[in-house]
């Protein structure tokens, strides 16, 4: 009986030994994982704390704003607009807010803001390009032309860039522009560049008119009616008529090209009938 009991004990002891070994191994593994996790967490904490400390160093204070793409806008004035950035920690600079302020400027079409470590801000801008000078009519009657004293510098998309001069030379002079007719006015104006005495009136879509103003005294000397279509083709036709008007020495005239195959010229200074037909 005793021998059978000893035999059972001998059989169960190895099992108990293996169980104790497994528990011991498991405990060691858990301790090892805990130690690794603790060390990693402590290291991450120290690293984060270190980065925060490094980020507050004076070397990261913004010393300069670098600009690329400025043409009309002046760097000195733009630096003054963003003076609050200078001396600020580069890590704390909100480049999205700077970009939003830039795009709110009437002269800036596109803007990109980047941080350049350790202490610079880089700003790349694309300025809008002036395309025309817009005037407004004071009178509601067609003739004579009377313009308001204020003019506007306008870009290709019809956005006002500047109120009052001086304006770049060679831009077309347009009157009462609107989104519906602005492109047509610019296209025609391209043929009239460097003629400062010419004003294209876009007030009526049915009849685009061109006014000719004498440089001295701003007196109207002529008006050209181009109708609603084929404006560029009719302008080329008018150039031949204009040469004839100069030969006659007329100082006041009206040319109407709204009728197919003919031009009607009116002037009170000619000895012939007020209406002269050109075919």
CA atoms within 13 A on the CB side of 222: 23
Q: Does 274 have pLDDT greater than 80?
A: no
Would you say 145 and 220 are in contact if contact means Cβ atoms under 8 Å apart?
yes
Nearest CA-CA partner of 234 in 269, 262, 205? 262
pLDDT tens digits, residue range 141-170?
A: 556 788 877 899 999 999 999 998 888 888
25 is in which domain, residue-wise?
Answer: 1-55
* Banded pLDDT at 65 (limits 50, 70, 90): very high
* Tally of domains within the chain: 3
Is the same domain home to 94 and 228? no
User: What integer pLDDT is reported at residue 269 of this predicted model?
Assistant: 73
User: What integer pLDDT is reported at residue 87 of this predicted model?
Assistant: 94
Is the same domain home to 65 and 136? no
Is the same domain home to 103 and 145? no
Is the same domain home to 95 and 216? no
Of 84, 112, 127, which marks where a domain is finished?
Answer: 127
Name, in order, each residue with C-beta under 8 angstroms of 160's C-beta and a sequence gap of 6 or more: 106, 134, 152, 153, 154
| Tokens 């060679």, residue located | 170
Q: What is the mean pLDDT of residues 247-251?
A: 83
32-41, 54-63, 81-90, range with the lowest pLDDT: 32-41
Q: Does 13 have pLDDT greater than 80?
A: no
Is the same domain home to 28 and 76? no
User: What integer pLDDT is reported at residue 148 of this predicted model?
Assistant: 79
Count of Cβ atoms closer than 10 Å to residue 143 Cβ: 11
Of 31-40, 108-117, 176-185, the range with the highest mean pLDDT is 108-117
Q: Does 207 have pLDDT greater than 60?
A: yes
Overall pTM > 0.85: no
Of 66, 92, 127, which marks where a domain is finished?
Answer: 127
Q: Mean pLDDT across the chain, nearest whole number?
A: 82
Is the same domain home to 101 and 163? no
């Amino acid at each position: 009986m005793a021998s059978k009991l000893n035999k059972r004990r001998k059989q169960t002891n190895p099992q108990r030994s293996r169980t104790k070994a497994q528990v011991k191994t498991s405990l060691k593994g858990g301790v090892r994982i805990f130690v690794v996790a603790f060390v990693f967490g402590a290291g991450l904490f120290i690293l984060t704390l270190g980065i925060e400390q490094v980020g507050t160093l004076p070397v990261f204070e913004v010393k300069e704003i670098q600009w690329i793409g400025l043409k009309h806008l002046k760097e000195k004035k733009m630096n003054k607009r963003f003076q609050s950035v200078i001396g600020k920690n580069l890590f704390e600079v909100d480049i999205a807010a700077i970009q939003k302020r830039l795009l709110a400027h009437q002269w800036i079409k596109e803007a990109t803001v980047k941080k350049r470590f350790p202490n610079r801000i880089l700003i790349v801008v694309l300025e809008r390009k002036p395309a025309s000078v817009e005037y407004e009519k004071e009178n509601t009657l067609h003739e004579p032309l009377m313009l308001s004293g204020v003019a506007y510098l306008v870009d290709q998309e019809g956005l006002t860039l500047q109120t009052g001069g001086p304006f770049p030379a060679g831009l077309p002079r347009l009157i009462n522009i609107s989104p519906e007719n602005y492109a047509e006015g610019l296209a025609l104006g391209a043929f009239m560049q460097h003629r400062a005495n010419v004003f294209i009136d876009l007030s009526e879509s049915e009849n685009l008119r061109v006014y000719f103003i004498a440089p001295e005294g701003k007196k109207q000397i002529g008006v050209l009616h181009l109708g609603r279509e084929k404006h560029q083709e009719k302008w080329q036709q008018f150039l031949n008529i204009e040469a004839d008007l100069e030969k006659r020495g007329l100082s006041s005239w009206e040319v109407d090209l709204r009728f197919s195959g003919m031009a009607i010229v009116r002037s009170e200074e000619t000895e012939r009938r007020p209406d002269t037909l050109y075919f």
